[in-house]
Amino acid sequence: MLSVLYNNTHEIIQSPDHVTIVIEMNHDARIIPIFDNAEEARANHKPSAIQPWLGDSVGWYEGDALMVETRNVYPEQRSSGAFPVTDETVVTERFTRHSPTEIFYEFTVNDPVLYSQPWKAELSFHETDKQQYEYACHEGNYAMPGILYGARLAEAEARAGA
């Protein structure tokens, strides 16, 4: 959940037994089941043959902090993200409410294949009234002038006929 060039809005929705994190970029959604403790959560990881696009995430609470452990990231996603990972990677995230408008986010990457030791990063998410927008690219959309021309022509014809 690192920031990228644009579309960095995240919406966190919690129900009694799941947390969903909707990510503005590409409309990704992480649906994370919540368990009573780390042991139960880890016992409910999917088999390693099942590799969801954003990985297999399970969660639990430690005090006021939401803990999320992710494994089995989809192979094509492993090399296309902010940092490379392998099928041995385990990412552990910690979400802690720091204030009514801030969530302190920490994550640890443990991948003994690529890294000599686990490494960690942290940042804060701040509440915003910004809404999420449709993720769509229009650069180089050569049909757009024709579409707009057709719409303006239809409007002109409607005015002339009125």
User: From the DSSP assignment, how many helices (H) and strands (E) are in the chain?
Assistant: 3, 8
Predicted pLDDT at 138: 65
Predicted pLDDT at 127: 87
Residue stretches of the chain with pLDDT short of 50: none
Predicted pLDDT at 85: 84
CA distance 28 to 15: 18
Predicted pLDDT at 93: 97
Neighbours of 24 (CB within 10 A): 19
Predicted pLDDT at 129: 81
pTM: 0.79
Predicted pLDDT at 156: 94
Predicted pLDDT at 8: 73
